[in-house]
Amino acid sequence: MKAERSAWGEVERGDWLPLLAEAADSGALMASVCTGAMLLAHSGVIGTRTATTHHVALDDLAATGATVVQERVVDTGRVITGGGVTSGLDVGLHLVERLVGPEAAEAAARRMEYPRLPVLVVDEG
């Protein structure tokens, strides 16, 4: 549902789009979960990269030019996208692995009693 109080509404308002583009241009690691990918896409951060989002928004993400796949997490180097809202756990654990190390990610997953799921890693810079 494309509600006013949602990622869709934020895309329509546009306030975040230049800030996201500026952060990406400065070299920041960018990540999204669920339809947050639409903010990254409409700010120009995703472009033609491989990406995912909530299953109801896959066609909308493809319409922005992204190469869309239906995965829990896609890591293209500078941009990480997660599927539905619960993939936020997977994105979080993947970020811990990338930024701190695999041991820390495994420890966090054990504490949460959450199974680590595979991440699609695509070398796109």
Which residues carry out catalysis?
34
Q: Where are the beta strands (DSSP E) in 1-125?
A: 30-33, 50-51, 67-68, 73-75, 79-82, 120-121
**Looking up tokens 């896959």, which residue turns up?**
58
Tallying the residues shown for the chain, one arrives at: 125
Instruction: Pinpoint the alpha helices (H) of the chain.
Output: 7-13, 17-25, 36-42, 58-63, 87-99, 102-112
SS3 120: strand
